[in-house]
Copies of this chain bind each other. A is one copy, B any other.
Amino acid sequence: MIPTSQDVATRAGVSRSTVSQILNGRAEYFAEETQARVAQAVAELGYEPSSAGRTLARGSSDIVIALIPDTTFGRNLQDIYGSLTEELARRGLTLVLRLSTSTEASLDRLVVGMKPRAVLTLTALPAGQRDLLVRRGVEVLEPDESSNADVNARIGTLQARHLIERGYRSLAYAHLRDARSDPFGGARERAFIEECRLCGLDQPRILHLDVAPEDARSALEELELPGFAVACYNDDVATALLYAATEKGWKVPDDIALIGMDNTPLSRLTVPPLTTIGYDPNQATQGSLQQLLNRLDKDNNREEVVEVQMDLVQRATT
């Protein structure tokens, strides 16, 4: 039913070994006519090598597993993993997604079983999981810590600088309460605080809330008085605070200023619309992608990593 390399070989009138080599980079050692005949047979039969066989023979598969963090990204997964999938496919690799919420044991089963070429994540991995993977001899592709921290630091800095430029002097940073969902919050907060310090402002307040009215209310209680400018972990957090402020009768941005992050479609639809930070998710993954490919290809031709571009989207909450 499904053609094997033997079928291709027979049809092309050569040995299976010839087919295999032509299809695996040794093509130049063969006569052009042979190459052509094999190519034609492959096309006619719609042959695709069995990844199981390949895996067995080579010791590792062509599969790259992306561990999806248990977190809320500002965008849909499509935006984030779509280009990764395509780019890897172009290099003969298959990207497959896996929720990293599942147990360590099941991750173990997965890697031992599938022998992935690499495991990739866009956020730092829990130590336990990373150990597991290296122990199993799997290549782990985490974002370059420095560059990742750098991106998040830039976000925090950008938020702080914008608020300060707009004249606000009492600043605060609002995290998601659930630390699991807030993997980048630490780095952003640190940069935010640092920027405040550099500008000679007081230590900013730190808030924690879930995306819910109750939490937003108590967060505002903590601020006690109007007059704060709050940088938020994402647009959802900003929306929650905006809601509570409106309810409380605080004027935005006079009594409280808010800046979000992600530039989600909904950030244009609050009243008033949110100031936020936007970025091109395609471009954002490009960096991690480059790192990944460099390490996989063992090509040390390090293409310089393009800095992901962030745009401050000024709307009406600052």
**Which residue from B2, B76, B239 sits with its C-beta under 8 Å from A112?**
B2
Copies in the complex: 2
A263 within 8 Å of B by Cβ?
Answer: no
**In the bound complex, CA of A57 to CA of B192 (Å):** 57
A98 within 8 Å of B by Cβ?
Answer: yes
Q: Of A78-86, A143-151, A161-169, A194-202, which stretch is located at the interface? A: A78-86
Q: Mark each residue of chain A from 243 to 279: 1 if its CB lies under 8 Å from any CB of chain B, else 0.
A: 1001000000000000000000110111100000000
Q: Of A101-109, A183-191, A280-288, A298-306, which stretch is located at the interface? A: A101-109
Q: Which of A89, A96, A212 has the most B CB atoms < 10 Å from its CB?
A: A96
A102 contact set on B, CB distance < 8 A: 82, 85-86, 89
**In the bound complex, CA of A10 to CA of B63 (Å):** 31
Residue ID in chain B nearest A84 by CB atoms = B99
A310 contact set on B, CB distance < 8 A: none
Residue ID in chain B nearest A239 by CB atoms = B269
A55 within 8 Å of B by Cβ?
Answer: yes
A39 within 8 Å of B by Cβ?
Answer: no
Task: Report 22 cross-chain contacts, Cβ distance below 8 Å, ordered by A residue.
Answer: A50-B56, A50-B113, A50-B115, A51-B52, A51-B114, A52-B114, A53-B56, A54-B113, A85-B106, A94-B109, A94-B114, A96-B97, A210-B265, A211-B269, A213-B269, A216-B269, A239-B266, A243-B270, A243-B271, A246-B271, A266-B266, A271-B271
List the interface of chain A (C-beta within 8 A of B): 1-2, 46, 48-56, 61-63, 65, 68, 70, 72, 76-78, 81-82, 85-86, 89, 94, 96-99, 101-102, 106, 108-110, 112-115, 136-137, 210-213, 216, 236, 239-240, 242-243, 246, 265-266, 268-271
